[in-house]
Amino acid sequence: MTGRGYIDTCAEHIAAPVDKPRWKAWSDADLSKVYRFYLLRTLGFEVANHNLQEHVNMIIESKGSKKAAQKFYCESVLNGLMSRKG
């Protein structure tokens, strides 16, 4: 944890909770973290570190999957409500 969650949230900043050498392990542990990054971006949050933005983009491009994106969208945007009819 950064210990700055409240401060970052109020300032609408996105920061990784770990230092840069541990970003890969942090993002590999749960791909939905990188999707939540973009959810915050759509809500107007700014990235505290430009290198973090590049890291998230790289992870999505290299490891992103349609299934993971659909799961994130269903759970986070539609609040668990999704039609399976196409």
Please tell me the predicted confidence (pLDDT) of residue 37. Answer: 86
What confidence score (pLDDT) does residue 17 get? 86
Q: Could you state, in chain order, the average pLDDT of each consecutive group of 10 residues for the chain (86 residues)? A: 75 90 89 83 87 88 72 73 53
Q: What is the pLDDT of residue 54?
A: 92
Residues 38, 1: Cα–Cα separation, whole Å: 19
Domain boundaries, the chain: 5-77
The three-class DSSP label of residue 65 is coil
Entry pTM: 0.68
